[in-house]
Amino acid sequence: MQAIDLQTSNDRFLISIDKKYIDKEFLLDIIDKIRIEYLAHKVDFDESIEDLGEEIKSNWWEQNKSRLLNRK
């Protein structure tokens, strides 16, 4: 038996993994990351989302820089 076996059907990937090669928690973590990537690709953000992120960071810095830079 191979450590990892991948089969495909019309609409699915079927993955079989030998338990000796990977522990359950690590596998669940990988599956969760795949789910998050899938959701991120489904979101239809245009390029203005980056501008919004920069604006949020800039506003946060203006509100917090004196508190962070004036530590003694």
Per residue in 33-49, pLDDT (tens digit) is: 999 999 988 887 788 88
Look up the pTM and report it. 0.54
Residues 6+ apart with CB under 8 A from 12: none
Is the Cα torsion angle 14, 20, 22, 27 positive or negative in sign?
A: positive
Angle at 8 between CA 1 and CA 21, to 5 degrees: 35
What gap in Å lies between CA 21 and CA 3, rounded to an integer? Answer: 7
The pair of three-digit structure tokens given for residue 61, joined into one six-digit string: 């810095």
Structure confidence by residue, pLDDT tens digits, 54-70? 999 999 999 998 888 88
